[in-house]
Structure formats: structure tokens, C-alpha cells
């Protein structure tokens, strides 16, 4: 089996959302001598990316996404023994994610958190209607290098701008990438408030986060 075929098998196993299939494929890839980092990035993570796309196309549902994420976690933990300690514990990035103060919308933000987490980011979902200072506190506490802010109402959108200003005031802006989203947010809004990126949906959020942090 070529490497490409092996990656395809790993990816398909993730899309099947079956832990047993993923574990079996990972074992097979290990036995074929494929480096763990490649198994994860080109096989498992590629599969998770496909899962995200299928979710947004209405072909897979949230429980499937979670099952796929669980299967990926099982696959990665098998590989950890083969990896140098620092590499095994290495995350793609640390993200603080939440819906800004005054806004109780939760679902979209939670899906973004789930997709980021299952793609290899360490995610701290701080919930909805989050006081703006809590974003700053959590960033400091977790040493995060990215913050995601959601707002579903035009009235709460300015909260995203305020957090960026608070990051500047605290001298944290250069070390933290800012991602904004939510129905009234746009690329123009992101540019206007000085955010690093805007994402339309969960799979785009993962892609943007990877672009900014890797």
C-alpha cells in the first residue's frame, strides 16, 4: 500500500466515525513505518477536515463529529508513545473561544470550539454572554495565542472591538491572534476593528486558525 493510499484509509476511517476502524488504520500505518506526525496531519486531521465539510453540507451531524473527534483522540494517543515527549504534548495552538457579553447565542460558537479542538488545537470555551474582561483573564491564564469571539447581534458586535482594544492596552495584542465570527460579522468589520481574521463557518475557522498559527 502506498503512503497516499494509507493516508486515504486513515482519513476514511475518521469519516466513518468508528473508533475501531481508526485504531486499526493507525496500527497499520505504524507498522508500515509512517512517521506519527504524518499519520496525524495527512491522515487523521485530513479526515477531520472532511468531517467538518460534511457537517456543513448536512451529510454528517454533530454526534458524528463528536464520534470522529473521539476516534481521532484514540488514534493520536496510540501514536504518542512513538513521539518525542514534547512533540506528543504539542498542540497546534491555544485558543480561547466565547460569545461576547450581552449575547446568549451558543450553538455556532460551540461548533467552532468542537472543530478546533478535534483539529488539534487546545481550546478553552468560556461560554456565552462572557464579560469582556474574562477573555483577557483567560488568555493570560492559559497563555493563549488566539482568541475567538462570536456575536450574533448587531448590538453585541462592538464587544469584539472592545476586547481588541483591551488586548492592546494590556500589551497582549502582538502575541494573540484575533478571530471574529457570527451572523453580523463580516470581513469588512474584521478589517475595521483590526482583527486578524473573520471566519464564515466552523471549517473556515479551522483553516484560518491554521493559516495564522502554523
Judged by the rule CB under 8 A, the positions of this chain that interact with another protein are 55-64, 66-67, 69-70, 104-107, 110, 113-114, 117, 125, 153-155, 183-189, 200
CB of 7 to another protein, least distance (A): 25
CB of 51 to another protein, least distance (A): 12
CB of 138 to another protein, least distance (A): 16
Identity of the residue, 30 or 161, whose beta carbon is nearer to another protein in the bound complex: 161
Identity of the residue, 185 or 209, whose beta carbon is nearer to another protein in the bound complex: 185
Identity of the residue, 6 or 65, whose beta carbon is nearer to another protein in the bound complex: 65
CB of 118 to another protein, least distance (A): 10
Alpha-carbon gap, residue 214 to 32, rounded angstroms: 27
Amino acid at each position: 500500500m502506498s503512503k497516499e493510499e494509507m493516508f486515504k484509509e486513515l482519513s476514511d476511517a475518521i469519516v466513518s466515525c468508528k473508533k475501531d476502524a481508526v485504531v486499526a488504520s493507525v496500527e497499520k500505518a505504524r507498522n508500515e513505518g509512517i512517521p506519527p506526525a504524518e499519520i496525524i496531519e495527512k491522515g487523521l486531521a485530513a479526515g477531520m477536515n472532511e468531517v467538518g465539510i460534511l457537517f456543513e453540507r448536512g451529510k454528517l451531524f454533530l454526534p458524528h463529529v463528536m464520534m470522529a473527534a473521539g476516534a481521532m483522540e484514540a488514534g493520536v494517543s496510540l501514536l504518542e508513545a512513538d513521539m518525542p515527549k514534547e512533540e506528543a504534548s504539542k498542540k497546534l495552538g491555544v485558543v480561547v473561544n466565547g460569545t461576547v457579553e450581552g449575547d446568549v447565542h451558543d450553538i455556532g460558537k460551540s461548533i467552532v470550539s468542537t472543530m478546533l479542538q478535534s483539529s488539534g488545537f487546545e481550546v478553552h470555551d468560556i461560554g456565552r454572554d462572557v464579560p469582556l474582561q474574562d477573555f483577557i483573564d483567560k488568555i493570560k491564564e492559559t497563555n493563549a495565542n488566539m482568541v475567538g469571539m462570536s456575536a450574533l447581534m448587531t448590538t453585541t458586535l462592538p464587544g469584539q472591538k472592545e476586547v481588541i482594544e483591551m488586548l492592546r492596552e494590556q500589551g497582549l495584542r502582538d502575541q494573540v491572534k484575533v478571530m471574529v465570527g457570527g451572523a453580523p460579522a463580516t470581513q469588512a468589520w474584521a478589517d475595521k476593528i483590526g482583527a486578524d481574521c473573520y471566519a464564515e463557518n466552523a471549517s473556515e475557522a479551522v483553516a484560518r486558525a491554521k493559516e495564522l498559527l502554523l
